[in-house]
């Protein structure tokens, strides 16, 4: 549903309360009828749309408030290369393994859980925004809080900016760890000033972004960081029903000779158990074994916890969802149906926004259509100038929204971000990196390259006025 909302410009997370028209849009898309019911009367009442359901292949259980239990937060670390993401993850892992298990060998399965002040937190083990955005593009948005690592001796760097863009686009809460504060050259105040320039105003400067000085080398401040993460988790009121139908997201998958396919999952709701039949993407399966992040065999996994699962018929994809099924028979049947659907959809091109049909997306004309753009230019100056010129174009029917605008060649990560927001990429005097070309084909994102400023701006204007001829 989160992915479905992106094309209409809504960056939702599981805690977002949707407007009636957004709920109605989702219902329509999935063949449900949305009746407004009593919602309008009680201000502050949570959206409880009455939905007339068609028979669904997978049983979805109701989750009344009282069955919801607190779950641990899931955290992703991002930041510029060499700013200390891996060191910080390692320090936290080394020093905070659940009491009694210290000294044991920790397994790298893609995520781990630590304990702080008697409460648990799960960290995704692959730092950086590539996996974060890839998962989001597939609609599997597991992260609750992002820790942005900024080295105090280096300040804001290009990948720090990229991470900020990705986090903002996903609407995530950010906590900044100003790292390497043990170095004599560290300047944590300068790092904060740099953050302000990027629109993240630290709390000690009167804003709402928590910043904490740390050293992944000495461990200074790490405990404060964990305190802040737990506090933030409390604010977010993260809850899940351990008795619901089990759903888990694939965050890593591997195929090993002799062992078959296995994957690391994070349970979103329900309890994952050995012997449970499931469907994952188009394939059926049954949980054969479960291991925790310390390599210990376990029988069940609760919401928020990561675990390594074996029992897949085929290696799943990162971002796929594993869903509990009533029986192996039901899961095999659904698998056949999904594989059939997949074959049919492979014949069709992915449906993505194109400049030429932006006006056609407008529907009944009651709302402005959104033209989402992702601009890459040769130098920052030209990027700023083009962005300003486009924002100056006036149209009653279309509004432009910049998902990103920066200098440099079009990279794989640009394509992923454009794809997850259904944006069109405009390139001015830039090349497309070779691995990004593959990604473009896979994601079906439109790219338009220009070398003359006026041509670019004229085409955007024509698109906004519905004058652009379809590409042949």
Q: By CB under 6 A, which span of 49-57, 76-84, 166-174, 256-264 interacts with ligand GDP?
A: 76-84
Least Å distance, CB 191 to ligand GDP, is 13
Contact 219, 94 (CB under 8 A): no
Q: Is there binding between residue 129 and ligand GDP (CB under 6 A)?
A: no
Q: Is there binding between residue 188 and ligand GDP (CB under 6 A)?
A: no
CB nearer ligand GDP, residue 96 or residue 247: 96
Strands, DSSP E only, in 117-214?
119-124, 145-151, 173-179, 210-213
Q: Which residue matches tokens 């091109």?
A: 349
Q: Is there binding between residue 182 and ligand GDP (CB under 6 A)?
A: yes
Q: Which residue matches tokens 């959809």?
A: 345
Binding test (CB under 6 A) with ligand GDP, winner from 120, 180, 372, 376: 180
Q: Is there binding between residue 183 and ligand GDP (CB under 6 A)?
A: yes
Least Å distance, CB 13 to ligand GDP, is 25
Whether 30 has a binding-site annotation, put simply, is no
Q: How far is CA 451 from CA 83, 331, 457, 469, in A?
A: 35, 53, 11, 20
Strands, DSSP E only, in 270-421?
272-273, 277-280, 283-291, 300-301, 306-312, 321-324, 369-377, 398-407
Least Å distance, CB 173 to ligand GDP, is 21
Q: Is there binding between residue 83 and ligand GDP (CB under 6 A)?
A: yes
Partnered with residue 122 across adjacent β-strands are 74, 113
What is the C-alpha separation between 220 and 467, in angstroms, rounded? 60
Q: By CB under 6 A, which span of 180-188, 389-397, 429-437, 457-465 interacts with ligand GDP?
A: 180-188
Which H or E element spans position 423? none
Least Å distance, CB 88 to ligand GDP, is 7
What is the C-alpha separation between 460 and 358, in angstroms, rounded? 10
CB nearer ligand GDP, residue 213 or residue 284: 213
Q: Which of residues 193-222 bind ligand GDP (CB under 6 A)?
A: 215-217
Instruction: Tell how far CA 255 is from the center of its chain.
Output: 25
Q: Return the residue nearest ligand GDP (CB atom).
A: 84
Q: How far is CA 46 from CA 65, 264, 461, 464, in A?
A: 11, 33, 41, 37
Q: Judged by CB under 6 A, how many residues of this single chain contact ligand GDP?
A: 16
Contact 85, 157 (CB under 8 A): no
CB nearer ligand GDP, residue 95 or residue 345: 95
Q: Is there binding between residue 326 and ligand GDP (CB under 6 A)?
A: no
What is the C-alpha separation between 159 and 332, in angstroms, rounded? 44
What is the C-alpha separation between 233 and 9, in angstroms, rounded? 26
Q: What is the DSSP annotation of 297-316?
A: B-SEE-TT-EEEEEEESSPP
Binding test (CB under 6 A) with ligand GDP, winner from 13, 86, 107, 289: 86
Whether 221 has a binding-site annotation, put simply, is no
Q: Is there binding between residue 152 and ligand GDP (CB under 6 A)?
A: no
Q: Is there binding between residue 127 and ligand GDP (CB under 6 A)?
A: yes
What is the C-alpha separation between 47 and 17, in angstroms, rounded? 7
Least Å distance, CB 212 to ligand GDP, is 13
Least Å distance, CB 124 to ligand GDP, is 13
Least Å distance, CB 132 to ligand GDP, is 14
**Contacts to ligand GDP by CB under 6 A:** 79, 81-87, 127, 179-180, 182-183, 215-217
Binding site listing: 79-86, 125-129, 179-182
């Amino acid at each position: 549903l989160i992915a479905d909302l992106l094309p209409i410009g809504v960056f939702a997370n599981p805690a977002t309360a949707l407007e009636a028209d957004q709920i109605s849009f989702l219902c329509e898309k999935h063949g449900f009828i949305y009746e407004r019911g009593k919602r309008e009367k009680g201000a502050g009442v949570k959206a409880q749309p009455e939905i007339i359901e068609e028979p669904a292949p997978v049983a979805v259980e109701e989750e009344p408030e009282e069955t919801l239990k607190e779950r641990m937060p899931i955290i992703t670390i991002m930041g510029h290369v060499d700013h200390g993401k891996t060191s910080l993850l390692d320090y936290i892992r080394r020093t905070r393994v659940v009491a009694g298990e210290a000294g044991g060998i920790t397994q790298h399965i893609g995520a781990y859980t630590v304990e702080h002040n008697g409460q648990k937190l799960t960290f995704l083990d692959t730092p950086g925004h590539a996996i974060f955005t890839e998962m989001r593009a597939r609609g599997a948005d597991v992260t609750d809080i992002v820790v942005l690592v900024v080295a105090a001796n280096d300040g804001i760097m290009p990948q720090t900016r990229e991470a900020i863009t990705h986090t903002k686009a996903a609407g995530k809460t950010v906590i900044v760890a100003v790292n390497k504060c043990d170095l004599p050259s560290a300047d944590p105040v300068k790092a904060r000033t740099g953050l302000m320039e990027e629109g993240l105003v630290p709390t000690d400067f009167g804003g709402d972004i928590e910043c904490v000085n740390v050293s992944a080398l000495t461990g200074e401040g790490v405990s404060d960081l964990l305190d802040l993460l737990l506090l933030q988790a409390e604010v977010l009121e993260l809850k899940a029903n351990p008795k619901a139908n089990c759903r888990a997201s694939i965050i890593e998958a591997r195929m090993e000779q002799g062992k078959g396919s296995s994957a690391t999952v994070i349970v979103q709701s329900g309890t994952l158990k050995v012997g449970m039949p499931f469907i994952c993407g188009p394939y059926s399966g049954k949980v054969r074994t479960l291991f925790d992040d310390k390599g210990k065999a376990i029988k069940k996994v609760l919401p928020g916890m990561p675990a390594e699962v074996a029992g897949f018929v085929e290696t799943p994809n990162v971002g796929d969802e594993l869903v509990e099924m009533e029986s192996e028979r039901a899961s095999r049947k659904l698998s056949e149906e999904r594989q059939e659907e997949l074959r049919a959809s492979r014949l069709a091109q992915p449906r993505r926004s194109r400049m030429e049909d932006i006006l056609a997306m407008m529907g009944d004309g009651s709302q402005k259509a959104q033209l989402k753009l992702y601009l890459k230019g040769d130098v920052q100056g030209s990027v700023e100038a083009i962005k300003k010129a486009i924002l100056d174009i006036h149209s009653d029917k279309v509004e432009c929204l910049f998902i990103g605008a920066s200098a440099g060649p079009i990279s794989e990560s640009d394509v992923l971000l454009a794809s997850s927001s259904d944006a069109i990429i405009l390139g001015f005097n830039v090349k497309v990196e070779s691995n990004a070309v593959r990604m473009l084909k896979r994601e079906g994102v439109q790219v338009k390259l220009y070398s003359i400023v006026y041509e670019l701006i004229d085409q955007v204007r024509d698109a906004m006025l519905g004058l652009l001829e379809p590409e042949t």
